[in-house]
Structure 1
């Protein structure tokens, strides 16, 4: 299993202010679903920050997202390790397959993979 990117998730209702602030550092908005917006560096597209007011389908908002090449394998590894699964593996309408797991420090991690057509 390979990690493709790691994205910090900032919980905030001030998406416009974050867009302006991170824009000063060269970030551009690359995704906006209303409840989550992601900003990326044009020169390093995997350098990203997401700002979210809440999570659309989960009871908690994750602290970070980790995209992997095989989310099903990651889920099995985490389950077998005894880690706390906060949100079971599921497919989302916006094209990702994901689950949430709690890290040893108590942070919620969104582990995801993009579904391919």
Structure 2
């Protein structure tokens, strides 16, 4: 299983203020869908952090996003292990295929792949 990046997701109602604050540390806005904004390091594109009020299509806001090379294989492996699937595998309108799973610490993980 190849991991492409890991992004912490911060539930926030202060998105603009977060962009300004983390901008002082060198982060720049790399994505903004209105309900989720991702900041990234210009010198290290895999160094990212996202801020969201609520998830657009899921019942919970994930704590962490893990982008994998093969999201379908990850889904099958986690489902077969008995892990709790919190949000089903589905294609999203913004170009990702994803599902949510609960880790052993109770954290909700958004596992995704880009189409």
TM range (shorter): over 0.9
- Point out where structure 1 has 5 or more consecutive residues left out of the alignment: none
CA–CA separation in structure 1 for the residues paired with 2:5 and 2:87? 20
Let me know the Cα RMSD of the aligned residues.
0.3
- Point out where structure 2 has 5 or more consecutive residues left out of the alignment: none
CA–CA separation in structure 2 for the residues paired with 1:71 and 1:55? 19
3-state SS of 2:75 partner = helix
- The equivalent residue for 1:73 is 73
CA–CA separation in structure 2 for the residues paired with 1:40 and 1:58? 24
TM-score (norm 2): 0.99
3-state SS of 1:7 partner = strand
TM-score (norm 1): 0.98
The runs of at least 4 aligned residues of structure 1 exceeding 3 Å deviation read none
State the number of aligned residues.
115
